[in-house]
Amino acid sequence: MRASTLASVAACGLFLRVAIPQSFAIIPRGRAVADATFRQTGFPEASEHGAPYDGTLASGLSCAAMAAAMLTVTSLKLVSSSLRTRRQSSFCKPLQQGMRQQAVQVHSTVARAAEGEPILRLGTRGSPLALAQAYETKRVLAAAFPELAPEGAVEIRTISTTGDQRLEISLAEIGGKGLFTRELDVALINKEVDFCVHSTKDVPTVLVPGTELCTMLPREDSRDVIITPNGITRFEDLPAGSLIGTASLRRQAQIYAVNPNVKCVNFRGNVQTRLRKLKAGEVNCTLLAYAGLKRMNMTEHATRILEWDEMLPAISQGAISLQCASDDEATLKYLRPLNHRQTFEAVTCERAFLASLDGNCKTPIAGQAKVSADGQLHLIGLVSSPDGQKIFRVTRSGAASDAATIGKDAGMEIRKEAGEKFFEDMQDYVQAVQAANEKPTKA
């Protein structure tokens, strides 16, 4: 590289390191945005310059902060111009492209803050549990990135989904898992939000093109709980004719396997709605995910926690995932560092198992994977007929780095054992009995 080019880079670096931090330190919000800028451009944070950050939300960037931001972009362009004379160099081209991307990201971040807009826009469903998960995500982001701590830096946008609106019909009848994510997908693709927060068990195995589940937060306890007003703790002990409220074919099949004399009926709605229906006597028993109760501090409602050998949980149950556009590096820089590797590997395995079985809410499929301290992954999977009379189980272990392969192979093993006709008959049967709305009688 020419001496003149090196001098330009050095000068730009000195400017970025000293001048901009002094300017951005004028207001707290500006300083926080400056920190984000320096973190993305690879320079030290501005936090060692100027007054300590006091968490106050400024109405917008000061003129000095805006000027500093504009000079940042200009300086990057100057270096890019110097490098342009060396286009033929294999070193200069990637560096030039990278600096151009950095300039765009700096400009976008500063522009949002200058206009009083949030740095990140988070999309979520509006149920109490979904909002609890959204606020937990916001809290984790604020703890990891100081610029996201001020009020308004991360905006939560509530989006109503079809699955939330059509509570009178079982999921199998109205399209399955995608009904909880479809409207969120649209908002993400239209750039109305920067990322979405999901209960991963509601996310289809095939995502909208151009998006990815980039991050999994540490998984909560994935087990189910039984809830009864009379203290009965086992399905086997429920009297004949007892009504069990559940819209889940997975739960229904495992219940019928141990007590075919009860009747499972469609029972949807948020946690609070289900508990209200149970208290009103509409059903004699219901089930909920323990993770949801824990996240809303409502564990006192659980009669008993069910172990995996009693009720194998749903694929991805207890895991919060963040979905983002695959090319949105400005957002991914915030989300990827939050990823919990063991949860990501376990859920990747479970979703591969589900995908190999073409699983959705019309299929009684369960599966759980765990990564042990030695890096080994252990998977338990289950597929059943809706009446619980035919159950196929599989267990697999292997290196966590092979999570997707382990899950896929386990699913193919069950497909081979059960035979394709089993899956065809099961789909026809589910449609005939309108999923969980009627008690199955066919063996």
Here the tokens at position 79 are 């270096």
Question: In 10 A of CB 155, how many CB atoms?
Answer: 15
Q: Compute φ and ψ for 245, nearest 5 degrees.
A: -85, 110
Q: What does the alpha-carbon distance between residue 295 and residue 290 come to, in Å, rounded to a whole number?
A: 9
Q: Which residues contact 165 (CB under 8 A, 6 or more apart)?
A: none
Q: What does the alpha-carbon distance between residue 137 and residue 338 come to, in Å, rounded to a whole number?
A: 9
The b/e string for 30-44 (b: 16+ C-beta within 10 A; e otherwise) is bbbbbbbbbbbbebe
The residue annotated as part of the active site, out of 202, 224, 328, 387, is: 202
Question: Which three-class secondary structure string do you get for the chain?
Answer: CCHHHHHHHHHHHHHHHHHHHHHHCCCHHHHHHHHHHHHHHCCCCHHHCCCCCCCCCCCCCCHHHHHHHHHHHHHHHHHHHHHHCCCCCCCHHHHHHHHHHHHHHHHHHHHHHHCCCCCEEEEECCCHHHHHHHHHHHHHHHHHCHHHCCCCCEEEEECCCHHHHCCCCCHHHHCCHHHHCHHHHHHHHCCCCCEEEEEHHHCCCCCCCCEEEEEECCCCCCCEEEECCCCCCCHHHCCCCCEEECCCHHHHHHHHHHCCCCEEECCCCCHHHHHHHHHCCCCCEEEEEHHHHHHCCCHHHCCEECCCCCCCCCCCCCCEEEEEECCCHHHHHHHHHHCCHHHHHHHHHHHHHHHHCCCCCCCCEEEEEEECCCCEEEEEEEEECCCCCCEEEEEEEEEHHHHHHHHHHHHHHHHHHHCHHHHHHHHHHHHHCCHHHCCCCCC
Q: Are 246 and 264 in contact (CB under 8 A)?
A: yes
Q: Compute φ and ψ for 304, nearest 5 degrees.
A: -160, 145
Here the tokens at position 186 are 């649209």
374: annotated active-site residue: no
Provide the annotated active-site residues.
202
